[in-house]
Amino acid sequence: MKHLKAIIASIALFVMFAGTTVQAKVEIQWWHAFGGRLGELLDEQVNKFNASQNKYTVVHTRKGNYSETLNAGIAAFRAGQHPNILMVFEVGTASLMAAKGAYVPMYQLMKDAGQSFNPKGFVSAVSGYYTTTDGKMLSMPYNSSTPVLWVNKDLMKKAGLDPEMDLSTWKRVGNALDAAKAKGIDMPFCTCWHSWVHLENFSAYHNIPFATKANGFAGLDTELSFNSPVHIKHIQTLGKWAQEGKFKYMGRRNEAGKNFRAGECMLMTESSAGYAGIKKEAKFEFGIRHLPYYGGTEAPQNTIIGGSSLWALSGKSKEENKATAAFLAFLSKTDIQAKWHQDTGYLGVTTAAAKKTKSSGFYKANPGTDLAGIQMMRNKVTQNSKGLRLGSFDQIRGIIDEEMEGVYNGSKTAQVALDNAVRRGNVLLRRFERANK
């Protein structure tokens, strides 16, 4: 009985105090796409922020994968039930940008809230993706990665190759695959995100346009142009490798990562953010290399990012926007960014975070983890290597996926497939232009 009274009293006290603090706090919602290890790390960031001050509370909710999160956000916006912050992957950027009135631009949000915020602190190859052509930052870069070449050194040895051999060009990669095939290695090459790696990044890396109008940055009347001779040469090479059994296609997203981690695949092109999983699961010695290129071209220029940024959706109270601004400013702090970069393999999106990671000796202890950053920033960004800003791009990627599958299974030549993809994609770009005029 005595115990019960004590418990009731303490609950009452707790509720009283909790009640007063909760009432005074402004609560904001964040919808994102991260589960698993990334979800835990994200949760850690939110908890840190909530504990760091007593004015605001951030509540985060996972809404499925990237596409599902974006769709949930859009549907909620139509119903007026949207969150304060929405995670949007890079492919959805143009759709958000075109929806003026659906979001509060980042520079505006920070200015209204009186937050000191320096867009220049971000790596330009990253922030450029989310910045208008006249230099206004619209959303906050969150996680960004770029494709690199992953090497299974044990399989290289098995193929009679020097695991440290030069793999900087596709020609050399081709020679290595020949050797591997001759030694009976079942899966010499595999790739994740084939459109992102082999067309989108390929274009930037070789400094050739993926689409006209500076890849869509300069206007909605952009047209796809990834059917140039260099593109065709590369896709035809992939098709040939697929026919010869040197390249095994496992799926459109990151399905091939499983094969690599299981030690089946010798060389894989995949995001630098594959690091966390590979480091955890691989029971072999692995290496990280720069993405290969073709000699006699303008490569290597620089690669572009994949990943997401955070958008502050409109229609929220001033107080809530202030909370959003405070939270986003918190996320861009050097400590938070550096930790995120080292834990996940995503790029350090602020220059300070990259510097801090370097001075901490992390790159020395984990060789290859700095390659992604170098690869992105090795040259001054050009019109072709700033990124992509194309409407309906999720859908266009689907078209590219389909057409390239036709090359891999031998039913189409690269020329036919890429011409088709360009033509079909342009139809969607015109439709998007019309809907967003």
Tell me how far apart the alpha carbons of residues 399 and 420 are, in angstroms, rounded to a whole number: 9
Contacts of 106 (CB under 8 A, 6+ apart): 117, 119, 130, 137, 138, 139, 140, 312, 328
The reply to whether 184 sits near another protein by the rule CB under 8 A is no
Q: How many CA atoms lie within 13 A of 46 on its CB side?
A: 20
- The reply on whether position 142 binds another protein by CB under 8 A is no
Is residue 89 involved in binding another protein (CB under 8 A)? no
Report the nearest approach of another protein to the CB of residue 237 (Å).
17
Q: Does residue 212 touch another protein according to CB under 8 A?
A: no
> According to the binding rule CB under 8 A, does residue 33 interact with another protein?
no
263 touches another protein by CB under 8 A = no
The C-alpha angle with vertex 215 and arms to 310 and 138, in degrees rounded to 5, equals 25
* Residue 398 interacting with another protein (CB under 8 A): yes
DSSP letter for 102, please. S
Quick check: 178 binds another protein (CB under 8 A)? Answer: no
Give the whole-angstrom CA distance, residue 32 versus residue 35.
9
Is 304 one of the binding residues for another protein (CB under 8 A)? no
250 touches another protein by CB under 8 A: yes
Question: What residues contact 279, with CB distance under 8 A and at least 6 apart?
Answer: none
**Cβ-based nearer residue to another protein, 217 or 249:** 249
Single out the residue of 44, 320, 401, 419 in contact with another protein (rule: CB under 8 A).
Answer: 401
The answer to whether the beta carbons of residues 290 and 149 sit under 8 Å apart is yes
Q: Please report how close the Cβ of residue 150 comes to another protein at its closest, in angstroms.
A: 16
Q: At 413, list the tokens.
A: 């030549």
Considering beta carbons, is residue 74 or 278 the nearer one to another protein? Answer: 74
Q: Does residue 405 interact with another protein by CB under 8 A?
A: yes
- Strand partners for 187: 265
Contacts 24+ apart (CB under 8 A), 363-371: 367/287, 367/288, 368/148, 368/287, 368/288, 368/289, 369/272, 369/275, 369/288, 369/342, 369/345, 371/148, 371/272, 371/288, 371/289, 371/290
Q: Is residue 436 part of the contact set for another protein (CB under 8 A)?
A: yes
- Is residue 388 within the footprint of another protein (CB under 8 A)? no
- If DSSP codes are grouped into helix, strand and coil, which group holds residue 32? strand
Q: Which of 406, 415, 416, 426 binds another protein (CB under 8 A)?
A: 406
Residue where the block lists tokens 């591997």:
180
Distances (CA, A) of 407 to 350, 358, 398: 39, 42, 15
Binding residue for another protein (CB under 8 A) from 154, 178, 402, 419? Answer: 402
Smallest distance, another protein to C-beta of residue 17, A: 41
Give yes or no for residue 280 binding another protein (CB under 8 A). Answer: no
Tell whether the torsion through CA atoms of 385, 389, 395 and 399 is positive or negative.
negative
CB of 216 to another protein, least distance (A): 17
| CA distance linking residue 373 with residue 403, whole number of Å | 31
Among the listed ranges 152-160, 290-298, 367-375, 403-411, the one in contact with another protein (CB under 8 A) is 403-411
Residue with Cβ nearer another protein (63 or 339): 63
Q: Of 93, 301, 309, 392, which lies in the binding site for another protein, with binding defined by CB under 8 A? A: 392
Site string for another protein, 60-79 (x = CB under 8 A): -------x---x--x--xx-
Residue in 97, 102, 199, 220 binding another protein, rule: CB under 8 A? 102
Task: Report the b/e string of 110-132 with b at 16+ CB within 10 A.
Answer: beebebebebeebbbbbbbbbbe
395 in contact with another protein (CB under 8 A): yes
* 408 counts as binding another protein under rule CB under 8 A: yes
CB neighbours of residue 4 within 10 Å:
8
Locus of tokens 């590369």: 234
Judged by beta carbon, residue 121 or residue 398, the one nearer another protein is 398
Residues that bind another protein (CB under 8 A): 67, 71, 74, 77-78, 95, 98-102, 248-252, 255, 258-259, 262, 392, 394-395, 398, 401-403, 405-406, 408-409, 411, 424, 427, 431, 434-436
